[in-house]
């Protein structure tokens, strides 16, 4: 009986951790430490996606910019509403989402991506081969 209960708790906790990623997250600029945007992460079928729902702009910055550096169908698309995280799949072994991509709308580059929650914060890793950069996003209120 103890083993059944322990198994149930373990399975439930893994499922709960998998859901922690869904919601709105505040992105933070690496250089200034200021909030840059709110990204909403949501599920579509078995995959997870993320789109920009709000930008925090400085005076003089375009309040509703387009992605001039993007390629393909995202070229000249408005950043607000743009899907920047695509096709993420949950990996239960590592308790993270991977196998998807993330777009940096500031430079138009697309990177492989991993996402996971650590201490209530979202870790977002964009990488190319063995080079990577990890950002910490905060829950949006």
Letter string b/e over residues 78-89, b meaning 16 or more CB atoms within 10 A of that residue's CB: ebbebbbbbebe
User: Which residue range forms the structural domain that includes residue 101?
Assistant: 2-139
pLDDT at 13 over 90: no
Q: Give the largest Cα separation in the chain, rounded.
A: 65
Does 6 have pLDDT greater than 80? no
More confident residue, 27 or 3: 27
**Residue 15: per-residue pLDDT:** 43
**What is the rounded distance in angstroms from the CA atom of residue 141 to the CA atom of residue 121?**
13
Report the CATH number at residue 34: 2.40.128.520
Q: Read off the pLDDT of residues 33-73 as tens digits, 9 standing for 90 and up.
A: 999 999 999 999 999 999 999 999 999 999 999 999 999 99
Coil, strand or helix: which one is 96?
strand
Domain count across the chain = 1
Q: Above 60 in pLDDT, residue 17? A: no
Q: What is the mean pLDDT of residues 23-32?
A: 94
Mean pLDDT, to the nearest integer, of 18-23? 80
Is the pLDDT reported for residue 25 higher than 60?
A: yes
> Per residue in 78-125, pLDDT tens?
999 999 999 999 999 999 999 999 999 999 999 999 999 999 999 999
Strand-pair partners of 124: 115, 135
Q: What is the pLDDT of residue 30?
A: 87
Question: In Å, what is the CA distance from 21 to each residue of 31, 48, 61?
Answer: 24, 9, 30
Does the pLDDT of residue 3 top 50, yes or no?
Answer: no
Inter-residue contact 100 to 113 (CB < 8 Å):
yes
Q: What is the pLDDT of residue 19?
A: 52
The H or E element that residue 19 is part of is helix 2-19
């Amino acid at each position: 009986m103890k083993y059944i209960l322990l198994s149930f708790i373990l399975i439930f906790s893994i499922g709960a951790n998998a859901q922690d990623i869904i919601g709105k997250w505040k992105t933070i600029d690496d250089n200034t430490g200021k909030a840059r945007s709110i990204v909403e992460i949501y599920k579509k079928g078995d995959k997870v996606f993320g789109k920009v729902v709000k930008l925090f702009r400085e005076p003089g910055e375009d309040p509703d910019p387009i992605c001039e550096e993007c390629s393909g169908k995202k070229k000249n698309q408005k950043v607000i509403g743009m899907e920047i995280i695509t096709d993420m799949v949950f990996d239960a072994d590592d308790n993270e989402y991977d196998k998807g991509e993330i777009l940096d709308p500031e430079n138009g580059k697309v990177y492989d991506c991993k996402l996971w929650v650590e201490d209530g914060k979202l870790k977002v890793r964009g990488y190319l081969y063995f080079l990577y950069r990890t950002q910490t996003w905060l829950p949006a209120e």
